[in-house]
Structure 1
């Protein structure tokens, strides 16, 4: 629907451009054949439809309370017809219509990267039904279904590689050109494309709740938001319009020649100039999306470019947000791998968040898991059952101690880091050891923070819900400017309010508890676009993958795009002002002035397209 509407707009603008071109060319031929009277009619005929369309747009804008520089273009065309200068009016009409066409083309080109995300996934999937395959709509897929992903196909849902391995192209999500190899048991995100042999994928979420579906929804919202709302040039519209009328009126009154007023109006018609700014901003949105960060609007891109303070959550932001096995401490003769294998085998029957971490660690070590039986789980405390003829219990220290002769697992964990979490394991009634898990720092955290500082963010703050001692250790390792731990959602909002006194604030977080802070910040950045998480809905920027690098790239792109947009305003308006002065003195006739302004505006739009590179 959106693409169809854009096509209709483009066709209408193209028709106006054709009318203006035919009028200009036809009038020129008539003038060369000595039919000056008919030539004037042809030029007026090439101007009038464009002027009428422009008047309609101006009225619509004024009803919304918008005052734009389009009024200058309307005045110059009207004055040209009124003062008997139809050729100048036709040149201005062609300039305006041509600028509209160029804007539509440039915006379409700039949107290509975002639009490429839409429609990549097939409508159906090949699901295993016993020993055979059946083709079903992807919206009927359910968690637990196993589907076949063939070479060249895009994953329609999030899932785990069921067997073998997958070679996936993630460039549409991350901008990374090197394919990623995912072994059996590893998670694969929807939106990635298989570039290796066919493999089986076990669905983790329905299609509507998948990572890719969330990205598509966000892309559609970004495309339908009025990105050119942040039209920097229109901020100067009222005073520029007043100055134009003052100079035009002054030139007319001083010289007594109304044509001088027309010349001033013609060279003060920066029609494509006011379009160059949204082109630069939309180009920035496109570049950021290609790099793995979806910025929801042009206004948000401009806000991101001006951020001075970055506030970051810890869990899921500076860290991965999920515990991983980092060590196994044996209390006796049972090998470490056997402790992990038995614990992971039993945890196949558990829904606890740690269970996935143990299973992932065992899978990564190629340990064969056995089916558990006769399991009994106390939610949040521990689980026990039988694995291969052995009685296994794992969980908290107290839970396992009661099932292993009242041994004290805590003594084995002395000296572990403050942020370490342990799972005690008992085998056949004897305490066997501890499995150590930590939510480790992302490997790119330090480099990303360095890039943020290099991009102009002067202050970096850690605002974490974890214990203060854990937050302090993280802050010290990353050389952050301020560290606050033990915060609830209201506490994070309070930190944002305090830091805003020093400049615009960006909040980076993950999870429902970060949503209030993301909404309170000048720019909220959510980690990942999975499903319809509250954080993704509240944020103005969504990182399309679970990584930090796209954030640094997005800040750099936003600053560059805004800088190019400002160049378009300053250079375009500056040249227009200089030309107005020359025209007011009588050295620039209307037709030549219109041609000069055309050259200025085209150059400014081409400059705006640099934001795509």
Structure 2
């Protein structure tokens, strides 16, 4: 039997036994104690088994108080109190299961969305195949209302509903040739999709794996709650001992134990954090664990990559300045041919510009990329290198730095060398995201004390973006190793969040207290290294996730404080003789229900 099934059975048994006992009290009083004891014993037996397992695993908690209460009630001739405690304990477990299930609703909906079959164009027409059989290059038909099965390219215009993945309320119109992420729903006419990768490597499959990790995780606050529970156990036993010393009445001791069973600590924290994970997923940010959600709530320093994170990452070619002997079109063609091997947003911008110009691109070979610095390889037998001044200088253009400094500071400059000689300069623009300034302002209002732009780009470009957005510091021309060092230097200022999207950001994302990847267009390596992934290509969703995390953590702490405070007051009243064991049990049940309902407020906006 599953854990949830056993809890349902125990709840039904305890409720039935208690009801039968109350009926016997009116009709056959002599049988009532036996009915109450019968309602208590199975719950006590299961509880003692769980306590033993916990002790063998080195864990102890407030379940011990519940066992002491039930055993004490039976021993002291208070079987009604024991039955109420049994019902309360079984009911608390059932309510916790129900609350967790409700809080997970938005996340588990993603699991159910994963399609199992797809329509593929074949030699004999359309054929239904399992999504595991789909291979890159397959042409698929996505019918109206169907979920896109794999990542790919739309072969015709489409209208997609991405609400389940990103929280976007309005369908998005996708042009022919645009990238389409799996998991979106076709809200328009049927369209053909060219598969880009297998189903196991698709965006939806990756999200499903992250959801499963998030659901299985246990947050530091939950472990901290366990430690608080031990302290609360000590306080409870101290109050019970004082009640015995002052009155010598064992029933007062029993009343104290009953009021303290079970504790809101073990109910409120996990429910509030799971609710926070669910809310963040609904907002378009998939937080991988409760640990990450709690850290997201505590962040004080924000480090951000520039290209593709603070900026649009869709660069536009402004100007091509070839060296004598080359045309601007040939310079762009050489650079774009090599950049086909790079996932960097600037590289993708150059490739897009070349294709828009109708230039035929060659397939590069022998490619070597230094993330954040440049890329080199062979294009039609010519050794081509492009990137920043330092990288290109090492590949045959010693004066690259001087050439790059001769242009406007707000522009992106890609230097190109061919066969060990200067080939030219490509000037591009990558404007800041429209929502970047608002996100940073919201982050500051949410408690961020320091914002740093951390980029591998040239200082002039990074400084220009940093000045436009009002960041506190700009660290430019940083290699991946130097980005890690910058993250570590910021940690004394408080918990550090690193936001990035490229392969070169992955080490810094892993080094930060919490790493967040821009997953809509970012590299897979950054998403794997990150603790959270922004599923939609909007940076403002991070600020929303921070707000949700802070609210969930605040509600958890509020529930714990209120639950403990009310329990302590109830124990003091019981110790003074103002509460009987039965009254104490009913009071604690009300407290537990109240803190669970309060924790569920984290689900609401």
TM-score (norm 1): 0.84
Instruction: Specify the alignment match of 1:572 in structure 2.
Output: 563
Alignment partner, residue 40 of structure 2 = 47
Which has the higher mean CA deviation after the structures are superposed, 192-201 or 483-492? 483-492
Cα distance 1:341–1:189, how it changes in 2: closer, same or farther (>3 A)?
farther
Alpha-carbon shift at residue 599 of structure 1 (Å): 1.1
Matches within 5 A, 1:462-541: 462-528=453-519, 533-541=524-532
Matched, 1:110 2:127: no
Q: 1:205 to 1:319 in 2, by over 3 A?
A: farther
Cα deviation for residue 130 of structure 1 reads 5.2
Structure 2 counterpart SS, 1:201 = strand
Counterpart residue number, 2:538: 547
Instruction: Work out whether residues 211 and 530 of structure 1, in 8 Å CA contact, stay in contact via their aligned partners in 2.
Output: no
Offset from partner CA, 1:487-520 (integer Å, 9 cap, x none): 2223222222221112111122223332322222
Residues 594 and 574 (structure 1 numbering): CA distance in 2 closer, same or farther, change over 3 Å?
same
Q: CA contact under 8 A between 1:126 and 1:134: conserved in structure 2?
A: yes
Looking at structure 2, the residues matched to 475 and 545 of structure 1 have their Cα atoms a distance apart, in angstroms, of: 23
**Alignment partner of 2:140: what SS?**
strand
Partner of 1:158: 151
Alpha-carbon distance change, 485 to 414 in structure 1, aligned in 2, over 3 angstroms = closer
Matching residue of 1:307:
299
Counterpart selection for 2:261 from 269, 280, 284: 269
CA distance 1:52–1:178, shift in 2 (3 Å): same
Output aligned runs, 1:244-283, within 5 Å: 244-271=236-263, 273-283=265-275
Separation (CA, whole Å) in 2 of partners of 1:376 and 1:217:
34
What residue in structure 2 maps to residue 21 of structure 1? 15
Secondary structure, in 3 states, of the residue corresponding to 1:461? strand
Aligned-pair CA distance for 1:350: 8.0
* 3-state SS of paired residue (2:64): helix
Cα distance change, pair 413–267 in 1 and its aligned pair in 2 (3 A):
closer
Q: 1:63 to 1:229 in 2, by over 3 A?
A: farther
| Aligned with residue 340 of structure 2, among 347, 351, 375 | 351
Aligned to 1:334: none
1:231–1:274: 8 Å Cα contact kept in structure 2?
no
Q: Does 1:215 align with 2:207?
A: yes
Asked whether the 8 Å contact 1:496–1:521 carries over to 2, the reply is yes
Cα separation, partners in 2 of 1:512 and 1:62, compared to 1, 3 Å: farther
Q: Distance between the aligned counterparts of 1:610 and 1:376, measured in 2?
A: 55
Shift of the 382–319 alpha-carbon distance from structure 1 to 2, 3 Å rule, reads farther
Deviations 1:148-185 (A, max 9, x none): 111111111111111x3110111111111111111111
Preserved contact between residue 158 and residue 175 of structure 2 (Cα < 8 Å): yes
Q: Could you say which residue in structure 1 is the equivalent of 2:373?
A: none
Asked whether the equivalents of residues 339 and 351 of structure 2 are also in contact (C-alpha less than 8 Å), the reply is no
Distance 1:344 1:105, change over 3 A: farther
Contact 1:526 1:541 in 2 (8 A): yes
In 2: Cα distance, 1:413 partner to 1:275 partner? 61
What is the TM-score when the length of structure 2 is the normalising length?
0.86
Helix, strand or coil: the match of 1:117? helix
Q: Secondary structure at the match of 1:135?
A: strand
CA distance in 2 between counterparts of 1:490 and 1:125 reads 43
| Contiguous gaps of at least 5 residues in structure 2 | 323-327, 368-375, 388-401, 417-422
Q: Using a 3 Å threshold, how does the CA distance of structure 1 residues 131 and 340 change in structure 2: closer, same or farther?
A: farther
What's the offset of the Cα at 1:242? 1.2
CA RMSD in angstroms, aligned pairs only: 3.5
Equivalenced residues, count: 572
Q: Quick check: 1:590 aligned with 2:591?
A: no
**Which residue number in structure 2 is paired with residue 605 of structure 1?**
596
Q: CA deviation at 1:29?
A: 0.7
Bigger mean CA deviation after superposition, 516-525 or 345-354: 345-354
